[in-house]
Amino acid sequence: MEELLKNALGHARADYAEVRAERRTTTRVTYAGQELEDISSFTSAGGCVRALVRGGWGFVSFNDLADLPRYVRLACEQAELVGRTKSLLAPVPPAVGSVAAKVAADPRQVPLAQKEALCRHYNQLILSRPRVQTSSVRYRDSWAETTFVSTDGACLSQEEVFCGASVAAIAKDGMNVQRAVKSVGDLRGYQIVEGLDPECEKVTERAVALLGAEPVHGGRYTIIIDPALAGVFAHEAFGHLSEADFVYENPPLREMMQLGRRFGADHLGIVDDPTLPDEAGSYRFDSEGTPARRTHLIRGGVLTSRLHSRETAAKMGEEPTGNARALNHQYQPIVRMSNTFIKPGTWALDDLLADTGEGLYVRGTLGGQTEMEMFTFSAEEAFAIRDGRRAERLREVVLTGNVFETLANIDAVGNDLEFYGGLGGCGKGEQSPLRVSTGGPHIRIRNCLVGGR
Partner 1 sequence: MVEQLLELARRKADAAEVHLLETEARPIQFENNDLKYVNTKSSRVLSLRVIHQGRLGFASTTDPSEPERLVAQAVESAQFGQEARFAFPPSAPLPAVEVFDPRVAEFPVERGIQLGRDAIARVLGEFADVQCYVEISRSVGTERLVNTSGLDVQQRTTGFDCGLTAVRIRDGGILWVSDGESSRALAANFGRYTAKLIADIRRAETESPVPAGAVPVLFTAKAVGLLLQFLESAVNGKLVQKGASPLVGRLGDQVLGTEITIHDDGTRPFGDGTAAFDAEGVPARRTPVFERGVLRNYLFDLQTAGMLGAASTGNAGRGFAAVPTPEATNFVLEPGSATFAGLLAGIERGLLVDEVIGGGQPNVLAGEFSVNVGLGFLVERGELVGRVKDCMVAGNVFDLFKQVRGMGDTQEVHGPIVAPPVCFDGVHVAGGE
32 contributes a contact to partner 1 by CB under 8 A: yes
Report the sign of the C-alpha dihedral through residues 402, 407, 413, 419, in that order: positive
Contact 172, 133 (CB under 8 A): yes
**Residue number, 7 or 250, with CB nearest to partner 1:** 250
Q: Which alpha helices (H) appear in 221-265, and where do they start and end?
A: 227-232, 251-256
* Candidate list 398, 407, 413, 436; residue touching partner 1; CB under 8 A: 398
Q: Which of these segments, 91-99, 112-120, 150-158, 336-344, binds partner 1 (CB under 8 A)?
A: 112-120
CB-nearer residue toward partner 1: 33 or 388: 33
Toward partner 1, which CB reaches closer, 207 or 353?
207
Q: Which of 8, 12, 57, 308 binds partner 1 (CB under 8 A)?
A: 57
If the CB atoms of residues 231 and 401 are measured against partner 1, the closer one turns out to be 401
Residue 19 interacts with partner 1 (CB under 8 A): yes or no: no
Nearest distance in Å: CB 344, partner 1: 26
Write each residue from 244 to 273 as x if it is in contact with partner 1 (CB under 8 A), else as -, in one continuous string: -----xx-xx--x-----------------
Question: DSSP secondary-structure letter at 216?
Answer: P
Find out whether 15 and 79 touch, Cβ atoms under 8 Å: no
Residue 1 as a binder of partner 1 (CB under 8 A): the answer is: no
Applying CB under 8 A, which part among 145-153, 199-207, 270-278, 401-409 lies near partner 1? 401-409
Find the part of the chain contacting partner 1 (CB under 8 A) among 3-11, 39-47, 299-307, 408-416: 39-47
CB of 4 to partner 1, least distance (A): 16
**Selected binder of partner 1 within 151, 222, 275, 400 (CB under 8 A):** 400
Within 13 A of 336's CA, how many CA atoms are on the CB side?
32
Selected binder of partner 1 within 130, 195, 198, 371 (CB under 8 A): 371
| 268 backbone dihedrals φ, ψ, rounded to 5° | -90, 120
Residues 272-311 close enough to bind partner 1 by CB under 8 A: none
Residue 290 C-beta: closest distance to partner 1, Å: 20
What is the enclosing helix (H) or strand (E) of 376? Answer: strand 374-386
Among residues 20, 61, 208, 436, the one that binds partner 1 under rule CB under 8 A: 61
Closest CA to 39 of 141, 116, 108, 127: 116
Binding to partner 1, residues 213-232 (CB under 8 A): 215, 218-219
Give the residue, chosen from 3, 86, 130, 174, that forms a contact with partner 1 under the rule CB under 8 A.
174
Least distance (Å) between residue 49 CB and partner 1: 10
Q: Cα separation of 154 and 152, whole Å?
A: 6
The C-alpha atoms of residue 362 and residue 379 are separated, in whole angstroms, by 6
CA distance 379 to 206: 13
Alpha-carbon span 143 to 29, nearest angstrom: 15
Q: Does residue 69 have a cis peptide bond before it, meaning omega lies within 30 degrees of 0?
A: no
User: What SS3 class is residue 144?
Assistant: strand
Rounded to the nearest 10°, the torsion over CA 415, 297, 430, 102 is -70
CA distance 208 to 213: 9
Among 157, 309, 321, 332, binds partner 1 (CB under 8 A): 332
Q: Residue 361 interacts with partner 1 (CB under 8 A)?
A: no
For partner 1, give the closer residue by CB, 75 or 443. Answer: 75
Per-residue mark of binding to partner 1, 116-135 (x: CB under 8 A): x----------------xx-
402 in contact with partner 1 (CB under 8 A): yes
Dist CA 281 CA 272 (whole Å)? 10
Footprint on residues 133-172 left by partner 1 (CB under 8 A) = 133-134, 170, 172
105 half-sphere exposure, CB direction, 13 A CA radius: 12
Q: Which of 3, 175, 260, 277 binds partner 1 (CB under 8 A)?
A: 175
Residues 256, 259, 262, CA angle at the centre, nearest 5°? 75
Pick from 7, 10, 42, 266 the residue near partner 1 by CB under 8 A: 42
Of 35 and 159, the one with the shorter C-beta distance to partner 1 is 35
Among positions 408-447, residues that touch partner 1 (CB under 8 A) are none
Of 2, 4, 33, 105, the one binding partner 1 (CB under 8 A) is 33
Taking CB under 8 A as the binding criterion, the range among 90-98, 156-164, 195-203, 376-384 that sits at the site for partner 1 is 376-384
Regarding 66 and contact with partner 1 (CB under 8 A), the answer is: no
- 274 phi-psi bin (left φ>0, alpha ψ -120 to 50, beta other): alpha
For the segment 179-208, give every residue that binds partner 1 (CB under 8 A).
179
The whole-angstrom separation of Cα 57 and Cα 193 is 41
Closest CA to 65 of 7, 15, 134: 7
Q: Tell me if residue 76 falls in helix, strand or coil.
A: helix
DSSP codes joined into one string, 396-424: --EEEEEHHHHHHTEEEEBS--EEE--S-
